[in-house]
Amino acid sequence: MKTRITELFGIEHPIIQGGMHYVGFAELAAAVSNAGGLGIITALTQPSAEALAEEIAKCREMTDKPFGVNLTFLPVVNSPDYPGMVKAIIEGGVKAVETAGNNPVQVLPALHEAGIKVIHKCTSVRHALKAQSIGCDAVSVDGFECGGHPGEDDIPNMILLPRAADELDIPFVSSGGQADGRSLVASLAMGAEGMNMGTRFIATKEAPVHQNVKDAIVAASELDTRLVMRPLRNTERVLNNPAVERVLEIEKEKGADLQFTDIIEQVAGVYPKIMKEGDMDIGAWSCGMVAGLINDIPTCQELIDRIMAEAEAIVRERLEGFLAA
C-alpha cells in the first residue's frame, strides 16, 4: 500500500508502533520494521543519552529497515537530557522521530537539518494544527480510546479523524483503538494515511515484556480500562487493577485538593516492576480500550501481514461488493 505516510518514512505498510515506556526497546522496534511497518524505540525508557545510542545501535544490528525514536516531552522539573538524546538520534542515523507531550519546536531545526522526519502525537485538532504550523512533517492523532494519555477533550476517533482531515494539509495517522484490517480501512476512510498502534503491539511475541502483561491484555475486555489523574489534568488510560482502584478512591476522597504525591506510590516508578517482572497489580500502566479486540499473541510479521490482507479483502470484496450490488 502506498500513502504519504509510507512515502515519508520509506516503509512498506502504513503501520507505526507508537513509543511505549518500558516496551519500546530495540527488539520490538526491529520486529515491527522488519515486518514492513515503522518500529519506534522509546528514548525516555533509556537511563541516559549514551544508553539510547547503544539501543539505536542494537536496533540497527537487528534490522536494515527504517525505524524511529520516540521523544516524549514531559512537564517535569528535572528535565531529561534531551540535547544528548537528539545527538544520539542524529549520530545513530535514525530517520524518523515521534515526538509527544509538549511542543517539540526546540528540537525541530536540528532534526530537520539531519534529514529526520518528525511525526508529532496530538490529541486535538488545535494541537495538530500547531504541529503543522511549526513544521512537523506529519501528525499522529490520538483519540479518546487510546492507551496512555488521551488529553482532556475526550473526543473519540470517529469524530477526531475526520475533523483532522478537514483541517490538516500534512499527512496523519490514526492512533488509539486500532487493532486490525478493519481499523486500517476505517482510518483511511476517515482521512488518515496510516495507523499507529500501541496496546496491540504489546501483545506480540517479540514485545520484550513479561508474559503476564501480554496475557492481561488478551484477557481484558473493552470495559476494563480506567482514566486516572484527571483531577491533575494529566489523564491516563490504564488497565484496571487493585492499585488503580486505590488511585480512584484517593482521587474521590481528595477531590480538587488532590496532589501528585497522594498517588505517587501507585503511579511513579512502577513500569519496570510491571513490564519486566510481571507484577501486574503493583501500579497503574497504560492500556487502550482496544484490549477488547486483542485475542492472541502473534509475531509482528503475522500481525502486520494479517492486517494488510484483511484490509485488502475489506476494500476489494466487502466495500466493492456494496457498490456492485
* Residues at the site binding ligand FMN, with contacts judged by CB under 6 A: 18-21, 23, 42, 70, 72, 100, 121, 142, 145-148, 175-178, 196-200, 285-288, 290
Contact 21, 285 (CB under 8 A): no
Judged by beta carbon, residue 20 or residue 263, the one nearer ligand FMN is 20
Q: What is the H or E stretch that residue 159 is in?
A: helix 157-167
Q: Which is nearer to ligand FMN, 20 or 304 (CB)?
A: 20
Distance CA 238, CA 195 (A): 21
Phi and psi of 258, rounded to 5°?
-55, 135
| DSSP string of 84-117, one letter each residue | HHHHHHHHTT--EEEEEES--TTTHHHHHHTT-E
Between 20 and 31, name the residue whose CB sits nearer to ligand FMN: 20
Backbone dihedral angles phi then psi of residue 120, each to the nearest 5 degrees: -105, 135
Rounded to the nearest whole angstrom, what is the least distance from the CB of residue 199 to ligand FMN in the complex? 3
With respect to ligand FMN, which residue has the nearer C-beta, 18 or 191?
18
Q: Which three cell numbers stand for residue 23?
A: 516496551
> How far is Cα 10 from Cα 2, in angstroms, rounded to an integer?
10
Pull the grid cell for residue 242: 487493585
Measured CA angle at 197 (ends 192, 199), to 5 deg: 150
Closest CB to ligand FMN among residues 66, 156: 156
Residue 179 CB, shortest distance to ligand FMN, in Å, is: 8
Cβ at position 43, least distance to ligand FMN in Å: 9
Most distant CA pair in the chain, distance: 62
Residue with the CB atom nearest ligand FMN in the bound state: 198
CB nearer ligand FMN, residue 64 or residue 140: 140
| Chain length of the chain | 325
Q: Is 156 exposed, middle or buried (0-12, 13-18, 19+ CB in 10 A)?
A: middle
- Tell me which DSSP letter residue 146 carries: -
Task: Name the minimum Å distance from CB 257 to ligand FMN.
Answer: 28
Q: Measured from the CB of residue 284, what is the shortest distance to ligand FMN in angstroms?
A: 10
Measured from the CB atom, the residue of 217 and 258 that comes closer to ligand FMN is: 217
Q: How far is the CB of 255 from ligand FMN (least distance, A)?
A: 28
* Closest distance of CB 316 from ligand FMN, Å: 26
